[in-house]
Structure 1
Amino acid sequence: MTNIVLFGPPGAGKGTQADVLKEKYNLVHISTGDVFRYNIKNNTELGDLAKSYMDKGHLVPDEVTINMLKAEVEKNEDAKGFIFDGFPRTEAQAEALSNLMDEKNSQINAMVALEVDDEVLITRLLERGKVSGRADDANEDVIRERIAEYYRKTDILKNYYQKQDKYYGVDGVGSIEEITERLSEVIDKL
């Protein structure tokens, strides 16, 4: 089983690459954002619990998030592996994910981070904002803060996976095909 944590700042191309990689390697893509939206929209017990925290402006506790992810993993018992997108975000979440994989007699094989220069990210996100209409992609100050927040939060995770020799930085600039090729070179060696 191949399990990858796909990381990168906003606008790095995680969603695009996850779509390509899940097809190429027959993996299940689990996007934390999608899982939250699904559970909240469908009024699941975990969704209602998560919404109760979010409505108060609080972060959803790791335990609730992990339980949602565990449910997604268990829905896909026959999977050849998973791409985790947007999770983990903290060392505690990384530990919880590791424990979840242990329960499945598996492990996280790699954290693969798409590395893109900040100015390239800003240009990409502003362009995406024009096309998508996403408010958070239309304001350069908001974009810069999202990127800064990513670096503040993820340096810890980079160190966590580096200590396990599981961190791989991949150049995220170029055509979709070029970036996929770089990611594939890493995944093929796992």
Structure 2
Amino acid sequence: MSKKRNNRKNKKKNQKELEDTSKSKYHLTKEILSYVLIIVIAVILSAHLNVVVSGSMEPSFYRGDIVAIENVHTYYGMQEFDPYNDIKINDVVVYDAQWYPEPVIHRVIDINEINGSKYYTIKGDNNEVEDPYLVSPEQIRAKVITIGDNLLIIPKIGYITLWFRGL
């Protein structure tokens, strides 16, 4: 009798250990998947946020603010908007300027057609004059997202990035 009882106890013990191992693997898999999801979300968000480095767009947004953007080309192969057709006067765009080494975030104030090609006149809200050169659609990298008539901005958090970059 005691031998049968020991076998049953051992069987229950082994079954319990197997269940515990299975639960542990399930929880570990769940935890790993949650970390992967967080990393994927962070990568996607980082591609859609841009830190403002100057005061040229005040009072629309300020140095150190972060603006949410939609990209012309994402590094995962999507085109979120077309710089030839989806830009209107008053849109705020991020573009590669001929006159400044970093991308510039300014407002489109006019759309021009020269010899059959489209060009944008762009100006910072806080600047007295427009940017020195017309901007072609090929120079535009992104457009600041608006909700209604409001730009999507996260205030002041970008100062951390500016501090690390020494700007």
The TM-score bracket by the shorter chain reads: under 0.3
Taking structure 2 as the reference length, what is the TM-score of the superposition? 0.25
Q: Highest Rg: 1 or 2?
A: 2
The structure richer in helix per residue is: 1
Taking structure 1 as the reference length, what is the TM-score of the superposition? 0.23
The structure richer in strand per residue is: 2
